Structure 1
């Protein structure tokens, strides 16, 4: 199996991590955030063929660049339809209503389960809590998982936005992320990469036992 290359782009005022994954000349983007110019340029410079865009959840800082990206590099966009309710809620309330026209891209609903991305096996994990439709993407052969705002290095995602749930978020981390191999690298929506082992041992939310 060809090696998966991962590049990180920190985009927008919230410094959101966007990930460019490639195998050979084929590429996938996870969470194209606001102002994706550098990402778009990189895809063009490398002569990559964008195969798809994967969304972890539908907060503005994670999807703000989707329309610009697919205008430059057309590709289908996949994510959970469970987060589409955010289109009906104002930005002040944690939704994206004021930006719906800007963010109105075609969505291919994605269900949890096994799939293949760039010739790599991928397990789409349902990880609600930050939002009801939050998804994580586990690449077992590459030993990494992309989790959006579920868990960070020594922290977890906020749950005070629409339909967020603290118990669900903690449950998702325990059952979906901490059940992965300990050496699995965790690529979060903000901040540095961490590992399952590191978070089990150091994340203050879990010091009473994993």
Structure 2
């Protein structure tokens, strides 16, 4: 599995290109913007884009998704259907976050907890992890011990819950049930900041380690 991280937009959101090295097929996870950078990277690495996958509906994670869908004639897959209101409100999000105007668009397929997705010879388990947003999902690739978590958990921190329909208790429950139960060497690829591991967060993350209550 090849992972290419492209920080996009002023929010420095970690858009990720995930590729199967056997087939050179790729997906883009959370293309928040800067579609030209994403397309150039796909081209320079001779990758065939098969789909866009989304963890949740915040604009800094989805802003370039529809551009890529139209450019490559592919599907947008995910997140969970409980994110629909965030897609309804994309114009409001653009105004709120200072992004260029954007019209509402919607995924081609919603995902549910327990779904699986394939990319070449790679297989990803879908887990519903609400709290930051109600329909947030994560993608776990067991063979490569890697989980793409969007804004659920960060190195030393967790996602915000002060947006509409955020829930702090639900977020912590999601992290403890779905992220911290993964093998300890699993790499956690977050939507912002540097990557970490399950082991590191169990030991040091003050929101979930129990060190501070």
TM-score by length of 2: 0.89
Paired residue for 2:84?
84
Give matches, 1:46-195, under 5 Å. 46-79=45-78, 80-89=80-89, 90-91=92-93, 99=101, 101=103, 103-118=104-119, 119-195=121-197
Aligned-pair CA distance for 1:142: 0.8
**2:9 alignment partner, one of 3, 9, 12:** 12
Q: How many residues align?
A: 205
Aligned 8 A contact 2:57 2:87 in 1? no
Aligned 8 A contact 2:146 2:188 in 1? yes
Change in 2 beyond 3 A, CA 1:76/1:15: same
Paired residue secondary structure (1:8): strand
Structure 2 residue runs without a partner (length 5+) = none
Aligned 8 A contact 1:93 1:161 in 2? no
Aligned-pair CA distance for 1:107: 2.5
Return 177-186 or 108-117, whichever deviates more.
108-117
- Could you list the structure 1 runs, at least 4 aligned residues long, displaced by more than 6 angstroms after superposition: 92-95
Change in 2 beyond 3 A, CA 1:99/1:133: farther
TM-score by length of 1: 0.90
Structure 1 residue runs without a partner (length 5+) = none
Return 145-154 or 62-71, whichever deviates more.
62-71
Aligned 8 A contact 1:144 1:187 in 2? yes
* Deviation readout 1:22-81 (Å, 9 max, x if unpaired): 113200111001222111111122232111111000000000011222232221111122
Aligned-pair CA distance for 1:125: 0.4
